[in-house]
Structure 1
Amino acid sequence: MTDDTFLNGIADALAALPTVEGVALGGSRAQGTAAEGSDWDLAVYYRGAFDPEHLRAVGWEGEVSAVGGWGGGVFNGGAWLTIGGRRVDVHYRDLDVVEAEIARARRGEFDVEPLMFHLAGIPTYLVVAELALGRTLRGEVPAVDEFPDALRRSASARWSQMAELTLAYAAANHAPRGMVTQCVGSIAVAACQFAHAVLAAEGTWTTNDKRLLHAARLQEIDGVIAAADHGTLADVVAQAGTLARARLQSATAHIADGIDVA
């Protein structure tokens, strides 16, 4: 079965579910960066109530969560499936919530929510990023193009502030006590926070942690963490901060005088 035949069959089945108004392809498959064996990320955009039992009734192998089963918030559940031997993730997207987050993003407003597999949590504008980076397969979904200027300013400032506080706490509390795990964990979280700050300043959408540091060109922090040992924890925390601040400064240099580059 070709990829197109495979995808069209799934899109048709998802579009036929009650209350679903649109189906979109996301992730590496939508962006043309998929590797062999990459999974397929799809989202169902529904209006009103969505009943996962209708998705279960399609008969695909895998786990189908309740609405809100992945912690609630904007990322409110979905399914991990195997269809025709291929891995498929289906995400539930409430159109009322998505439209509200689009409006908030344009005003520079967002929240940060905890979500498994995302070290620093996710910004609620993640659902807006999905629309900007995805491809509509069936029906209609909201259109999103550029990263809002107001969000570039607010998100870069907020994420960088969180990163600075994360490192400061590690330097003041974990490093003096030789707490290696806590220090390394704090650096990892702060690196992700700095990465979000960099990408926001540059007006670059991101939807997950898989290549977050690489997208922000902060992968050098891998070397900082690899060099960590009990005797130099304070230095390691400081080195990570210095590296990340320099990258953020270059990303935000144009913001002070107005945003005119992507």
Structure 2
Amino acid sequence: MRTDDDFVAHVADRLAALPGVVAVSLGGSRAQGTHGPDSDWDFALYYRDNFDAAGLRAVGWPGEVSDIGAWGGVFNGGAWLTIDGRAVDVHYRDLTVIENELAEAEQGRFRWEPLAFHLAGIPSYLVVGELAVSRVLRGELPKPAFPDAMRTVAPPIWRRQADLGLRYARASYAPRGRVTETAGALATAAMQTAHAILAARGEWVTNEKRLLERAGLREMDTIITRLSPDSNVLAEQIDAARHILETAGA
């Protein structure tokens, strides 16, 4: 079996050789040194304007390969593969799109998009943040800093979304004893607030796996575990959560 370094080089070479690919990076925990022995491997292939997923399928690695656009939005597609017995994610990244998102972020503009496995969804500047924290393996890629404008603009937007969700839960879910709906609202608001805190710090977020830890919001676990169908309990815990989230990162 290949060593980790040989494995990375092997995958990077195969991806870089695909038609239209101009750069390949390693991201996620493997690039940042926070991985465990069972962590998967996150590769991104960068192209400009056009890439045909048929080329990746033709390599023959077992797994699922999506077409461009299948995942929607800026996070526009990729593959879940098994290579040399290792779990590998490959993400498609269009450099033209990313350059536009970087220009928008530098002006303090972004949008929110839903994405599987992300409670709060993702900001459109996520694909820019990937460049900042990834390790370039083949080709050349920019390494942008967190825009000053985004540090000012993003936090209140994220916090307003969190506040609206909790207000709705207080008015609609708590009186009806809706535990599941309340738990979902609390979890989503916690993630949104965490985005706000990290944006204010100028720290990139590329997924939600360690988001609450990084933002110092693990206390929300206690709130969630206290929920019960009692409407008074739900109201009390929503109020407690609002206090935690409104004061966090202040």
Q: Distance in 2 between matches of 1:169 and 1:39?
A: 37
Q: Distance in 1 between matches of 2:224 and 2:240?
A: 10
Shift of 1:244: 1.1
Query: Equivalent residue for 1:16?
Result: 17
Query: Equivalent residue for 2:229?
Result: 230
Query: Equivalent residue for 1:33?
Result: 34
Query: Equivalent residue for 1:220?
Result: 219
Deviations 1:167-195 (Å, cap 9, x if unpaired)? 00101111111111111110011011001
Query: Equivalent residue for 1:189?
Result: 188
Q: Distance in 1 between matches of 2:237 and 2:49?
A: 50
Q: 3-state DSSP class of the match of 1:60?
A: coil
Pair 1:5-2:6 in alignment: yes
Q: Distance in 2 between matches of 1:40 and 1:228?
A: 36
TM-score by length of 1: 0.93
- CA RMSD in angstroms comes to 0.8
TM-score by length of 2: 0.97
Task: Look up the equivalent residue of 2:86 and give its one-letter code.
Answer: R
Deviations 1:68-106 (Å, cap 9, x if unpaired)? 111x11000000000000011000001110000111111
Identity of aligned residues (%): 57
CA contact (8 A) 1:99 1:142 kept: no
CA contact (8 A) 1:21 1:141 kept: no
CA contact (8 A) 2:177 2:228 kept: no
Q: How does 1:125-140 map to 2 (within 5 A)?
A: 125-140=125-140
Query: Equivalent residue for 2:152?
Result: 153
- Unaligned runs of at least 5 residues, structure 1: 250-262
Q: How does 1:1-262 map to 2 (within 5 A)?
A: 1-70=2-71, 72-144=72-144, 146-231=145-230, 232-249=233-250
Q: Distance in 2 between matches of 1:241 and 1:133?
A: 31
Task: Look up the equivalent residue of 1:2 and give its one-letter code.
Answer: T
Q: 3-state DSSP class of the match of 1:50?
A: coil
Q: Distance in 1 between matches of 2:174 and 2:120?
A: 20
Deviations 1:131-181 (Å, cap 9, x if unpaired)? 01001000112221x211100111101000100001001011111111111
Q: Distance in 2 between matches of 1:86 and 1:102?
A: 32
Question: Which 4+ runs in 1 deviate beyond 2 A?
Answer: none
